[in-house]
Structure 1
Amino acid sequence: MRTDIFARLDREPEPPKIVAPRMSRHRIALFGGTLAFYLAIVWAVLITSWLVALDWKVMLFRPYQQWPELHAFLDYYVVLGQRGPTAVMVACWLGWRSWRQHTLRPLLVLGTSLLLLNLSVGAVKLGLGRLGPHYATQIGSAEMFAGGDIFPSGHTANAVVTWGILAYLATTPRARRYLSAVSATVSLGVGLTTVYIGTHWLSDVVLGWAAGLLILLALPWFEPLIARTETWIFAMREQWRERRDGARPAPAAGSGAGPGSGPQPVLLPQSMATDGLAAETVTAGVEPVLPAGHPAPGARARAHGGHPVRPGALPVAPAGVRRPTPHTERGTRGTGSPARPMTGG
C-alpha cells in the first residue's frame, strides 16, 4: 500500500460527465443582449447623453473624500482587478488542476480569455481615447478622442474574466453557482472601487462589466480550437520524447557491469579443475561446458548463500583478477599426502 502523498496526487481524472460548454440558444441570446447593451453604452457616451452627466455628478461628489476611512483598504482591494497579480494567482490554481487531471484545457482557456480581453478591450480603449476623471478638461464633456485609455475599465473587465474563468471551468453545478456569485461580487467591488478612488468614470465601469461578460459568453466558440491546440501540444511532446530516447546509446549486449563495459573475464574454481577441467579464463555471460553430473557453479553458489564453499577448493576470484598459485605441498585431491620422514626408533 502506497502512502506517499505525491502518489495519491499523481493522477486524479476529471470527474465524469464534464464536457466543454457549447454555444446554446440561451447563451447566444445572452451574448446578443450583452452586445446590444455594450453598444448602447458606447453610443450614450459618444453623444454626451445623461450618462455623461451622471459621470460628472459622481466625480464631483468625490467619494474618496466622503469615506476616507475606506481608502487604505480599497487601495489593496483594487489589486484583485489588476491583470498581472490576478493572472498569476488564477494560473497557479489552474496549473495545479491541469497537473492533477492530466489536461491542458484549464490553462488554455485562461490564456484564450486573456488574449481576447487584451485585443477587444485594448482596441476600444485606444480607439475611443477617453480621458479619466483626474485629467478631465471641461465639465460636462465626454472627454472622448483626447488620447486617453480608460474606456472601458480594464480593471473591471479583467476582474470579470479572470475570476469568472473559475466558474466557467467548474466541474459541478453547485460549484459553478458559488463561483459565479463570488466572481460577480469581486468584479462588482473592483469596479466600484475604481469609481471611489477616482480613476474611472461610472460609465467606464459599466462598459467594463459588459466587456468581460462578452468574453465569458463567447468562450464556447473557441473550445474546438482549444481542443486542437491541446492535441497538438501533446503530439509535439511525444515526438520530443521519441527523439530524446532515440539519441540515447543502447547498452552493450551481454554486459552485466553497465553500458559500454565489455565481457569480463572470470576464473573457474579449482575444484572444477580437479574433475578434469583445467582452470582457465572464460568470458562472463557464457556458460562453461561441464561434465555430466557436475553441478553448475551458479547453482552451487546459490545453494551456499552466493559463495561456493566446497571443502578443499578456493573461492572464485573476482572478475579480471588472477587467482593465487596453490600451495605446492598440497597434493591433488585423491592422491594422498606426501611421505613424511620417520623419526624416533
Structure 2
Amino acid sequence: MLALFSFLTVEVVLIGAVFTVSLLLFFYLTRVVFVAHSAQFDDWGFQQADKLRAFWSWLTPVARFVTFFASFPFLALAGILGPVVLRWRGHKREALEVFLAVLGASLFNQLLKTHYHRSRPSSALVFQPGLSFPSGHAMIGMALYGCLAWLLWRHRRHPVWAGLLVLWAVLIGFTRVYLHVHYPTDVLAGFAAGLLWLILLRTALRLWWREGKELGIEN
C-alpha cells in the first residue's frame, strides 16, 4: 500500500507539472504572437527548416508522408476505427478515452482557431486551408498519440513504445514547420493545447468512473 501510494503521488505530481507547464507555455505563446506581435522565433524556425530542405532535399517527400498521420482523413479513421477495435477486444474504457481524445481535441482546436483567427504562412509549400493557431496536426496528433502512449504505459508497461509514440507526435508537428504550413509558435501551442486537453480528459474520466463505481453504476 505504501508503494502504491508513493506511485500515485509521483504520478499526480508529474501530471500536475506537465499541465502547469503546458498552460503557461500556451499563455506565453499567445502573448508573443498576439500581444507583442513578435516574429523572431517563427522566422528562426523557418530558417532552420529551409536549411534542412536545402541540404537534404529528399526530406520533403518524407515530411509529406509523415504529416499525413495527423491529417483529417487519418484522424477521422483512427478516431473511429481505433475505438471500435479496442471495444471489440474488450477494452471499453480505453475505446471511449481514445474516441474522446480525438473528438474533443478536434472541436477544441477549431474553437481556438476561430478565437485567435491567425492566417497561415504565405510561404507554404503545399496548400492547406483553414486558420493557423494552434496547429491542428500538432494538437490532435499529440492528443491521439499521447493517449495511446498513456494507455500503453498504464496497462502494458511499455515505456519504449510509449516514448516513441510521443516522439512521433512531435515529429509530425515539426513537419508542419518544415512544410511552412504552420508557424513554429502554432506547433508549440498545438503541443501544449493537446496535452492540456488530454490531462483534462483523463482526469474527468477517472472521476466519472470512480463516482460510478462508488454508486454501483457501470460506466
Give the TM-score taking structure 1 as reference length. 0.51
Within the alignment, does 1:70 sit opposite 2:53 as a pair?
A: no
Return the offset for 1:90. Answer: 5.8
What stretches of structure 1 of length at least 5 have no aligned partner?
Answer: 1-16, 137-147, 233-345
- 2 CA distance for matches of 1:220 and 1:149? 28
SS at the partner of 1:221? helix
Within the alignment, does 1:164 sit opposite 2:146 as a pair?
A: yes
Per-residue CA deviation, residues 61-87 of structure 1 (Å, 9 max, x unaligned), is 662751322212221111111133134
Amino acid of the structure 2 residue aligned with 1:68: S
CA shift in 2, pair 1:92/1:169, >3 Å: same
Q: Which has the larger radius of gyration?
A: 1
Percent identical? 22
Per-residue CA deviation, residues 313-337 of structure 1 (Å, 9 max, x unaligned), is xxxxxxxxxxxxxxxxxxxxxxxxx
SS at the partner of 1:31? helix
Q: 1:53 aligns with which of 19, 36, 40?
A: 40
Return the offset for 1:155. Answer: 0.5
Amino acid of the structure 2 residue aligned with 1:191: G
Kindly report the root-mean-square deviation, in angstroms, between the aligned alpha carbons of the 2 structures: 3.0
Residue of structure 2 equivalent to 1:203: 185
CA shift in 2, pair 1:65/1:93, >3 Å: closer
CA shift in 2, pair 1:98/1:61, >3 Å: closer
Q: Is the 8 A contact 2:118 2:133 kept in 1?
A: yes
Within the alignment, does 1:187 sit opposite 2:174 as a pair?
A: no
Residue of structure 2 equivalent to 1:79: 68
Q: Is the 8 A contact 1:35 1:214 kept in 2?
A: yes
Within the alignment, does 1:178 sit opposite 2:160 as a pair?
A: yes
Q: 2:19 aligns with which of 4, 24, 31?
A: 31
Per-residue CA deviation, residues 108-151 of structure 1 (Å, 9 max, x unaligned), is 11222223212322111111111111179xxxxxxxxxxx6110
What stretches of structure 2 of length at least 5 have no aligned partner?
Answer: 125-129
SS at the partner of 1:130? coil
Q: 2:78 aligns with which of 77, 80, 89?
A: 89
Amino acid of the structure 2 residue aligned with 1:55: D
Residue of structure 2 equivalent to 1:260: none
Residue of structure 1 equivalent to 2:104: 116
- 2 CA distance for matches of 1:58 and 1:183? 23
- 2 CA distance for matches of 1:133 and 1:214? 25
**Structure richer in helix, relative to its length:** 2
Q: Is the 8 A contact 1:161 1:215 kept in 2?
A: yes
- 1 CA distance for matches of 2:14 and 2:123? 41
- 1 CA distance for matches of 2:176 and 2:80? 24
Q: Is the 8 A contact 1:160 1:209 kept in 2?
A: yes
CA shift in 2, pair 1:225/1:215, >3 Å: same
Q: Is the 8 A contact 2:67 2:175 kept in 1?
A: yes
Runs of 4+ aligned residues of structure 1 deviating over 4 Å after TM superposition are: none
CA shift in 2, pair 1:114/1:96, >3 Å: closer
Q: Is the 8 A contact 2:98 2:148 kept in 1?
A: no
Higher relative contact order (CA 8 A, sep 6+): 2
Amino acid of the structure 1 residue aligned with 2:195: L
- 2 CA distance for matches of 1:111 and 1:186? 19
Amino acid of the structure 2 residue aligned with 1:75: R
Residue of structure 2 equivalent to 1:267: none
- 2 CA distance for matches of 1:34 and 1:123? 18
Return the offset for 1:220. Answer: 2.7
Residue of structure 2 equivalent to 1:43: 31
CA shift in 2, pair 1:111/1:100, >3 Å: closer
